[in-house]
Chains A and B, each alone.
Chain A
């Protein structure tokens, strides 16, 4: 059974070069020949500085070039390399082999998404959700470039800045059983982004976004499991955005009786 999520940091300093061997078990799936996924185990020599991503790269470079996964920046900002590592959604670039040794590591594609091949999942549904929430400033008071920037006080800034930190790594979707049970649920990251724009003092689009919040795909799918916020590598706390919007949607519903424009106005 998987241990609870904990941010792993390096114990002891500067990695030494002593080479050890770790077993990495990867859930493989080749859509053109496999009926279902199966596991394969690789013995990977590693040093203490190596990330799980580097372990997977080692397999691809040296054992099997057909092993398929997404990656790019290696520094936990591009959001490409999420995987289930021992059952927990993590960025493989900032998880380290030394923290699992001498036990075997199991690696699997992010949960709650269809597997395209090996560790690559189908993200098109997630992207459609991002597109659906109108993730752009709908100006409250339009401003010309000659007028310069909008003024934003530290108070106003602190209302939304946390929710701008999402890197779209989708670990929170892999952590959310409700996403698994109902793939149409708009989900944590997209809702955090929606909330980010609603909370921005430059934006006046909350009323337009409210319909989606309260819809069939909206926040009421969430049963407050809270694991999404737990696994978020950037401390966005998407679960909070979802739950705060339950309150907003309820307010909006009741205030609608008082004003035809709804509570968001």
Chain B
């Protein structure tokens, strides 16, 4: 087995991983950084983010406003001390990215421009047309090339963490081009592997979003926190799930039902507004908009299409072609290429689809998990800023802010710790190699990867949808347990070494099943409705409402080998925003004024 001795190992080369790598390289150029990624960094799914990144920019905005939007948007399940740090660092990091060359869209006088976004009181979303994630990722990747201490392991697939002396000390990875194993030692290991949305059927996500880092930490006894909170994005392309950014609505797009009626006014987001108004109508938060879609469907007011199913219309026509081409060029092209629709002339059919995992590897504000030396950042982590529902454009900023934090913390750790015991680590790595190789070489199985995956994503969609009831959630838990059993009987078509994606997708499926179980069991145990977790059941519908007495708590899912995960609950850190009723539109404005009055 190849051995590489690094100081800091980063798993995942997306926005968070790259930002962390740069932070380490800048803070101590003598440290060796291993940046390990199963795809070339610019393929990472950060690339697909469209709308933008939130950070206070305008004089009429404040950190306090951003804080309250975020905490309220998260239905008070946020770690408020972490959110306070986050909103203060946001503009610093976004400016840093500008200095590195990110082509943020600008105002006529040459300053960075900001656009409105759902659930945000003031315009504070920095954007690069509708390819913000793409530009952030490429800027970070290209900037990372400047630092010789960053050694990239591109197209290396991590299969296990190494743990000795009570701390995480490296990873074992497959070099995809050869199928051979490499042990990469490090005194700090940062997971930046992204979300897990591909456990669902219809999602906005790329094929690589399979929850690898979550599963790796989970299997090493680290809790996955708040996994029941899965964000449905209200405006996705039917069938494929491809995303039409929230910026479509930030720029003034309407959502209408089959009668051409802007239905959001019926769901506590009104009254009707002609121009985009922050926190009103189409600029409400994603959970509320996706739920409204579901209600419209129940009422029979969605448009029924023989192939696409139930859809509503995203209407951009009144914005005009020139404006759309400037602000939403990618959206324009996607509508043309994938749907044959000219959005300046026709409304776009959309429906809600899975978009983001709010939960993840439980970490403290310094991004370190309960396993010393193991950090997690970005979508794979739960550092506590999203709570029960993430506000659009907070996650791109999160990559930067906490990428930097984790990088700096990993440096401290790497500088203070002695090297590990290589012999012990190698033994562990070899055991992992044997285990993973066995999956490839074993014969006689009858199950196909694709079949199990197909059944999993269907079951998750049925059991962990926008609205949930115990019965289907239980069916989902049972189904996942069955699939876990059947996975043991898997058989691969490809038993070779070079570029064996049959094998790699089986390992991914193994990760996905673990993460899906964490989601399913966290969901069925939370007998209330909060943010993206909405239930329709309970005695007299008791679970339909938020229950702060019992569930103003984070859920923690712990791995139990061969069985369902164990779910426990932990406290939520509240500093200055005690839970309130979560309202938007006119009601939200009224509540804001009342809060202000009571503070004076």
Interface residues, chain A, with chain B CB atoms under 8 Å away? 7, 9-17, 30-33, 47, 49, 60-62, 64-66, 68-80, 94, 116-118, 120, 122-123, 127, 130-131, 134-137, 139, 143, 145, 148-154, 156-157, 160-161, 164-165, 167-168, 193, 197, 200, 202-203
Contacts and interface: CB of A to CB of B under 8 A. Distances in A.
Contacts of A73: 43, 45, 47-48, 206
Given A164-B138, A168-B42, A65 B502 contact: yes
B179 to A, nearest CB: 9
Nearest to B306: A17
Interface string B468-512: 000000000000000000000000111011111110000000000
A66 B494 contact: yes
Contact of B496 (A13, A66, A135): A66
Contacts of A136: 100-101, 142-143, 145-146
A94 B42 contact: no
B207 A150 contact: no
B110 interface: yes
B449 A143 contact: no
Interface stretch (B79-87, B90-98, B541-549): B90-98
A164 B502 contact: no
Nearest to B154: A127
5 contacts: A16-B307, A60-B450, A66-B500, A77-B330, A148-B95
Contacts of B492: 65
B207 A76 contact: no
B131 A80 contact: no
Given A9-B336, A14-B308, A157-B106, A117 B330 contact: no
Interface of B: 39-40, 42-45, 47-48, 92, 95-96, 98-101, 103-104, 106, 108-112, 131, 134-135, 138, 142-143, 145-146, 154, 177, 206-208, 239-240, 242-243, 305-308, 330, 333-334, 336-341, 349, 448-450, 492-494, 496-502
The A contact surface, by secondary structure, is loop
A74 B109 CA distance: 37
B112 to A, nearest CB: 5
A77 B47 contact: yes
B208 A193 contact: no
Nearest to A132: B145
Contacts of A150: 98-99
Nearest to B307: A17
Contact of A79 (B43, B101, B142): B43
Contacts of A164: 103, 135, 138
Contacts of B146: 134, 136
A120 B499 contact: yes
Nearest to B329: A165
Given A11-B340, A77-B134, A154 B106 contact: yes
A75 B242 contact: yes
Contacts of A161: 103
B494 A79 contact: no
A203 B111 contact: no
Q: Which 3 interchain pairs have the tightest Cβ spacing?
A: A10-B340, A65-B493, A66-B494
Contact of A15 (B42, B101, B307, B502): B307
A79 B43 CA distance: 7
A197 B138 CA distance: 13
Chain B CB within 10 Å, residue with most, of A65, A80, A120: A65
Nearest to B126: A149
Given A32-B496, A61-B450, 11 more contacts: A9-B336, A14-B305, A33-B496, A66-B493, A73-B48, A118-B499, A137-B99, A143-B99, A167-B47, A193-B142, A200-B101
Nearest to A75: B242
A127 to B, nearest CB: 7
Contacts of B134: 77, 167
A68 to B, nearest CB: 5
A77 B112 CA distance: 24
Nearest to B133: A77
Nearest to A131: B145
Contacts of B99: 137, 139, 143, 145, 149-150, 202
A79 B131 CA distance: 14
B101 A157 contact: no
Contacts of A76: 333-334, 337
A72 B45 contact: yes
A43 B240 CA distance: 22
B100 A137 contact: yes
Nearest to A120: B499
Contacts of A156: 110
Nearest to B209: A72
A149 B111 contact: yes
Nearest to B143: A136
